[in-house]
Each structure stands twice: as structure tokens, then as C-alpha cells.
């Protein structure tokens, strides 16, 4: 099932819909996506009935929002594809390297991404994002899949000057609009193996990143095991699982994003997010 947060008719009111091909059907659920994920066991049958009712509208007639607009936690792993480690001229980590992204960095799948004032070194990083569905602490890797609600496409947009201004990366990763996700959540039952998906990013139609999630250094189950050793993972938490090689900062010469550039991130079976870069007013 593909679940989207959307608004229609120019409204700011968020609704939850089911995407079926080029059609979106409202679920009738009164809460947010976070609420739906937390109540999924009780609500899934009603959502399935809504999907079967067939009273949809064209997907093109609505505005897709970030599927989870205020996640409790956003964690992202660094240096998790071998080709990205190599191009970064860094040693392969023996332990997982984590940083956070602020809630306020979340952005819609097709909304403009801002280049902030005096922060021009903005880069793209396509990533598979896992959405936690079941609360847990000390989750073993062989049980981790039971805690995933679904997956979506993400772009771990990064301001490189701020990222490398100190030993902590989170400020450079947390600018407003720098965590676009979507276009919807594909529930985990539709993705039997998240470690076998083609993943790519293009800028103005030019392919920059192209890989497969089988290349993850630490797989998603290992990531969940590691994070849950430190904290309780809760429904709606987001995990950005790493980016492959091909980032702009590693090109020769370096290629950073500028106003007017169009960035498209795509993952097999999950869809694509695409946004124009815009200068902050």
C-alpha cells in the first residue's frame, strides 16, 4: 500500500490518502500520518476498505506533502556506501557514524529546496528512508524488519561549509527544507527486500548518483539494532540509511547546487521526489 499525506483545492488541511496508480483515494482517517502509523493495527482494515471503494481523484490534482511532517526523531547514517567512502577520501568506518537532522528540515516531495543566505555550498544525497512502525528498544537485527512500517525516498540535502565547520555534522544537515521525503510511504509488505533496490539522483536531467541498496555497508537491520541500543525507537521515526557515491562535493571541479537547478531522487518501487532549488529570500 502507498500512503500519502496531501492537501487539495489550495487548502492547508492535511489528509491521508492511498495512491493506486495515478489515482489517490482519501482514507477518511481523521489524524496525521504519525497517528495512523501508531494506530495501524486498529486502522489497517478500514484503510484497506477505503482503498477498495474506488472513489479516487487524479493524483495530479492534489498537492503531496511530506508523508511524515513532524517525526519524533530523524537519524541519518554517514559513510554507508563503499563508493561514497572512497570519494570522500575517508577510512571505512568500523562503527556506524550517525547524525541527526532537525524536524524543521522536513520538506514536501516537490516543494522548493532553499539555498540559505551565506550558505552556498549545498549538495544532494539520495537516500532510502525507513519509517519505524513499532516501538522498540534493544531490537536484535533478526527482528528489526518487524519494526519497520514502510519506506520512502529521501534527499539528505547538505550544506558542506557548515557540515565541516566543526566535528559535528548536524548543523550542516539541518537547514530548513533540507530533508525532502516522499512521494509517499510504501508499506513494508510491498518491499520484501529493501536491500535490492536501484537508487539514483539526477541534477537537471544529468545522472549524478546510481547504485543499489545492496551496496549498504551496514544494512537497515544492523542500523535499527544499533540505534535501538541507545534509544527507544517510536512509530514515525525516520532513518536515512546512507547515500551512494556521486555527490557534488566529490566531483572535479566540485559542483554545488544553485537556484533553478532541478534535483530528482528516485528509488525502485518507491517512486521519485523532484524539486527546484531556490534562493532563500
User: What is the per-residue pLDDT for 117?
Assistant: 95
Cα separation, 254 vs 250, whole angstroms: 6
Cα separation, 39 vs 113, whole angstroms: 32
The superfamily CATH assigns to domain 74-279 is: Fumarylacetoacetase-like, C-terminal domain (3.90.850.10)
Residue 90 pLDDT exceeds 90: no
User: What is the per-residue pLDDT for 91?
Assistant: 85
Cα separation, 262 vs 13, whole angstroms: 27
pLDDT per position as a tens digit, 117-141 = 999 999 999 999 999 999 999 999 9
Helix (H, G, I), strand (E, B) or coil at 13: coil
Q: Are 257 and 269 in contact (CB under 8 A)?
A: no
Cα separation, 143 vs 150, whole angstroms: 15
Backbone angles phi, psi at 37, to 5 degrees: -60, -45
First to last CA, the chain: 38
Q: Provide the pLDDT confidence category of residue 219 given band limits of 50, 70 and 90.
A: very high
pLDDT per position as a tens digit, 140-176 = 999 999 999 999 999 999 999 999 999 999 999 999 9
Question: How much is the average pLDDT of 70-97?
Answer: 92
pLDDT per position as a tens digit, 4-50 = 999 998 899 999 999 999 999 999 999 999 999 999 999 999 999 99
Cα separation, 111 vs 170, whole angstroms: 22
pLDDT per position as a tens digit, 239-264 = 999 999 999 999 999 999 999 999 99
Q: Where are the domains of the chain?
A: 2-64, 74-279
User: What is the per-residue pLDDT for 83?
Assistant: 86
Question: How much is the average pLDDT of 56-60?
Answer: 95
Cα separation, 274 vs 45, whole angstroms: 32
Q: Provide the pLDDT confidence category of residue 185 given band limits of 50, 70 and 90.
A: very high
Amino acid at each position: 500500500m502507498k500512503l500519502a499525506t496531501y492537501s487539495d483545492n489550495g487548502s492547508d488541511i492535511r489528509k491521508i490518502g492511498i495512491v493506486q496508480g495515478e489515482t489517490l483515494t482519501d482514507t477518511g482517517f481523521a489524524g496525521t500520518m504519525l497517528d495512523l502509523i501508531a494506530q495501524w493495527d486498529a486502522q489497517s482494515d478500514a484503510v484497506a476498505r477505503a482503498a477498495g471503494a474506488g472513489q479516487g481523484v487524479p493524483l495530479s490534482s492534489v498537492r503531496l506533502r511530506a508523508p511524515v511532517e513532524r517525526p519524533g526523531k530523524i537519524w541519518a547514517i554517514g559513510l554507508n556506501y563503499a563508493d561514497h567512502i572512497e570519494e570522500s577520501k575517508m577510512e571505512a568506518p568500523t562503527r556506524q557514524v550517525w547524525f541527526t537532522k532537525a524536524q524543521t528540515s522536513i520538506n514536501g516531495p516537490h516543494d522548493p529546496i532553499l539555498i540559505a543566505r551565506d550558505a552556498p555550498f549545498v549538495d544532494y544525497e539520495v537516500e532510502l528512508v525507513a519509517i519505524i512502525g513499532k516501538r522498540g528498544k534493544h531490537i536484535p537485527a533478526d527482528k528489526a524488519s518487524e519494526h519497520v512500517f514502510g519506506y520512502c525516498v529521501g534527499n539528505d540535502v547538505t550544506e558542506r561549509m557548515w557540515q565541516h565547520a566543526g566535528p559535528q555534522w548536524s548543523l550542516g544537515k539541518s537547514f530548513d527544507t533540507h530533508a525532502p521525503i516522499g512521494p509517499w510511504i510504501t508499506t513494508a509488505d510491498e518491499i520484501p527486500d529493501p536491500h535490492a533496490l536501484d537508487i539514483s539522483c539526477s541534477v537537471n536531467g544529468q545522472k549524478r548518483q546510481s547504485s543499489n541498496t545492496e551496496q549498504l555497508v551496514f544494512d537497515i537491520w544492523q542500523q535499527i539494532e544499533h540505534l535501538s541500543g541507545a534509544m527507544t525507537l517510536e512509530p514515525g521515526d525516520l532513518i536515512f540509511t546512507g547515500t551512494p557515491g556521486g555527490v557534488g562535493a566529490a566531483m572535479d571541479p566540485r559542483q554545488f547546487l544553485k537556484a533553478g537547478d532541478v534535483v530528482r531522487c528516485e528509488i525502485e518501487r518507491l517512486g521519485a521526489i523532484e524539486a527546484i532549488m531556490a534562493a532563500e529570500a
